[in-house]
Amino acid sequence: MIAIIDYKAGNLTSVALALQSIGEAFVITDNIAILNTAERIIFPGVGAAGEAMANLRAKGLDEWLHNWIKQGKPLLGICLGTQIILTLSEENDTNCLGLIAGTTKRFPDNLTDDRGKLKIPHMGWNNVSLLRQHPVFADIPPAAEFYFVHSYYPAPADEAVILGWTDYGIGFCSVLAQNNLVAMQFHPEKSGRYGLQILRNFCKWRPS
Mark residue 169 as left, alpha or beta (left: phi above 0; alpha: psi -120 to 50; beta: remaining): left
In whole angstroms, what separates CA 180 from the centre of its chain?
13
Please tell me the distance from the alpha carbon of residue 176 to that of residue 157, in angstroms, as a whole number.
Answer: 11
3-state secondary structure 130-168: ECCCCHHHCCCCCCCEEEEEECEEEEECCHHHEEEEEEE
Torsion angle, alpha carbons of 164, 87, 10, 17, to 10: 40
Q: Which residues are catalytic?
A: 79, 187, 189
Look up residue 206 and give its DSSP letter: -
Cα torsion 126, 130, 136, 139: sign? positive
Please tell me the distance from the alpha carbon of residue 67 to that of residue 73, in angstroms, as a whole number.
Answer: 10
In whole angstroms, what separates CA 13 from the centre of its chain?
16
